[in-house]
Chain A
Amino acid sequence: MAETSCELFDCGHRACGGCGAALASRLILKATGKNTIIAAATGCMEVFSTPYPETAWKVPWIHSLFENNSAVASGICASLKKQGRTEKVVAIGGDGSTFDIGMLCLSGAFERGHDFTYICYDNEAYMNTGIQRSGATPFDASTTTSPAGKCSKGNARPKKDLPQILAAHGAPYVATASIAYPSDVVKKIEKAINTPGPCYVQIHAPCCTGWGFEGEKTLAIGKLAIETGLWVNFEMENGVVTRVKKVVRKPVETYLKEQKRFRHLFKPKVNAEEIAKIQAIADKNAEKYGTDLKLKSKPGPVVP
């Protein structure tokens, strides 16, 4: 079976049908090619791809712990440099690993300026342990540790702005991407691994299981996140935003109502007050990054 696959991220892994992170894995290796060493963090992607004695990774791959992939990658970079080797080093972690428990190692590795790329597949909660909130969980999302209830509207805090934090470390290239736009993911990872120094790519990877939608809708959900302004695809070079995906924005409800994690905002009745708060987050994103596609005076068909 493995021999019939032409992908470096091989078939036979155990991800859920419609898993955004599995698609991210494929795209990552499509972009990096063979001459790459992966340092993985504990999480869904690690678990569904490497149940001993099988592995889906046809490039050298190492998993150590939940929170140390950036430090492991630092060591790999130093080791390769000393040996005069040319492999690209890519650390991969989910949002729990990247935003929360691995933040110390991540900050250290970026401050030291190792020549590696860190890729976060962001599915906005701890999915491997059963959908607990992380620092990347969006405002009002219901998770198993931020459940909506009689006196809770879900996750009480907005998403941590990690790309800006890493840009503030002096990272030469920071980008966000979405599995809904596969060729954009590949382009950004190619750019990251070919930019000297520590680079960061954060890939929005919708999780059908954790967010509560049917597996065939993964790409559509990813697109809606961008079209509503709740996710912004951008590139930052040396701390300056250089490219932004522009959209004709839709109201946030179009994204929220598709997912069980936001169901409490619509049932038993529509919670207009909370939805307005989420709309304000989208508006702020649009303003900050200038994502709104300005229509010309004569409205016509728009190609985003």
Chain B
Amino acid sequence: MIEITEGSHAVAKAVKMSRPQVIAAYPITPQTHIVETLADMVADCELDAEYITVESEFSALSACLGASAAGSRTYSATTSQGLALMFEVCFNVSGMRLPVVMTIANRALGAPLSIWNDQQDSIALRDCGWLQFYAEDNQEATDLHYIAYKVAENPEVLLPAFVCFDGFILSHTYEPVDMLSQEDVDLYLPPYKPAQRLDAADPISFGMYATPEYYMEFRYEHDLAMKRAKNAISKAGKEFGEMFGRDYSALVEGYRLEDADTAIITMGSLCGTVKDAIDEMRTAGKKVGLLKIRCFRPFPSEEIRKALSHVENVAVLDKNVSIGAKGAVAIEVRDALYGKTIPVLGYVLGLGGRDVRISDIKNIVSLAESGKGDQFYGIRPEVL
């Protein structure tokens, strides 16, 4: 059913229909509307979950870790500083292969303090061994939660997942969203059956320490699981498409890319602006296309390589920066194209909520076509 709803509310409804058994959450802007909505649902007995009002994000994810290890489907949501505070726990959850799903309402990291959107927070945790999905709009943000649980809990995967959507730009925007019914969700996402759990009837030890003789194999197997996740994502996305008409089988998605000379690559809500810019540029005779990255972990290197085989220029738009290097997506796209001669130029933009307009996208395409890039874009002239 189509509803006009705020992004955070749509996500909360999707979470509710995923039937989490334990939710642990802490307020932080711009994520708070999600956990407030879930609290309302629990208070009104619409959602039968244990809701733990923890004293920090660090405890939120720690409680999720314990709840998941004890065998429950588990959920949290956070952003920015909250995610940074969870850093240590993030590695633990994935290292113990616990399929926690967490929404990230992407926001900049301080200092200076900023509550506004960029994707530095989840990108800063790109190495923590979680699946990372990025939503273009609230429909996708909503649907990706069902898919995230399905993939995370797949016995071939058993990895936690971030579902990232841009703070304010999506989280606080009212859009039409086609919400599934509970019956639909139950058909798609059966109850969680943990492969292993803390259980007095079958005692096992979780989170032991590993000496140099053993440690590397844990990381190796973690990496293998992440690689297997590609297939699991495609399968889960395809099944979703067959059941509900929206196919998410592709980890990357092209827009007017087939005959493009210049390809723009980005993630999240910026894809919408880029599509509008592309339409205008196409009308003006410029062959520009978009390659949207929906799944950043596992990183779809082969898919990117294949999708870009025919283009002449690649412009990567990063709402994050690895200070002293480049935006993370630019670095990884260039790595994906290793051995090819296609120029890949990176543009760091939109940090801390700086607006990115259609005209900016057009300017960047011109820069890329003239070989100028690997730079910040949109800096105030007085500091240049």
Complex contact A79–B72 (CB within 8 A): yes
The residues in B between 36 and 71 inclusive whose CB is less than 8 angstroms from any CB of A are 49-50, 52-56, 58-59, 62-71
> Which of A81-89, A184-192, A257-265 contacts the other chain?
A81-89
The residues in A between 71 and 109 inclusive whose CB is less than 8 angstroms from any CB of B are 71-76, 78-83, 85, 87, 104-105, 107-109
Complex contact B52–A62 (CB within 8 A): no
> Which of A48-56, A118-126, A241-249 contacts the other chain?
A48-56
How distant is B83 from chain A, measured CB to nearest CB, in Å?
A: 16
Query: Interface residue tally of chain B, by bracket?
Result: 35 or more
| A277: interface (CB < 8 Å) | no
| A223: interface (CB < 8 Å) | no
The residues in B between 206 and 221 inclusive whose CB is less than 8 angstroms from any CB of A are 206-211, 214
How distant is B91 from chain A, measured CB to nearest CB, in Å?
A: 9
Contacts of B206 in A (CB 8 A): 61-63
Among A46, A108, A111, the one with the most B-chain Cβ atoms within 10 Å of its Cβ is A108
Contacts of A81 in B (CB 8 A): 50
Contacts of B92 in A (CB 8 A): 64-65
| B204: interface (CB < 8 Å) | yes
| B21: interface (CB < 8 Å) | yes
Known: A36-B200, A60-B198, A68-B58. A52 touches B208 (CB 8 A): yes
| A208: interface (CB < 8 Å) | no
Contacts of A80 in B (CB 8 A): 70
Say which residue of A51, A63, A75 sits within 8 Å of B22 (CB atoms). A75
Complex contact A59–B66 (CB within 8 A): no
Cα separation A3 to B50 with both chains bound (whole Å):
39
Complex contact A104–B56 (CB within 8 A): yes
Known: A71-B58, A108-B55. A35 touches B70 (CB 8 A): no
Say which residue of B49, B70, B205, B208 sits within 8 Å of A75 (CB atoms). B70
| B223: interface (CB < 8 Å) | no
Contacts of B70 in A (CB 8 A): 37, 75-76, 79-80, 83, 85
Contacts of B50 in A (CB 8 A): 78-79, 81-82
Complex contact A53–B63 (CB within 8 A): no
Known: A76-B198, A83-B21. A52 touches B209 (CB 8 A): yes
| A159: interface (CB < 8 Å) | no
Say which residue of A51, A65, A82, A85 sits within 8 Å of B211 (CB atoms). A51
The 7 closest A-B pairs by CB, nearest first: A75-B66, A108-B55, A71-B62, A75-B63, A79-B70, A75-B67, A72-B66
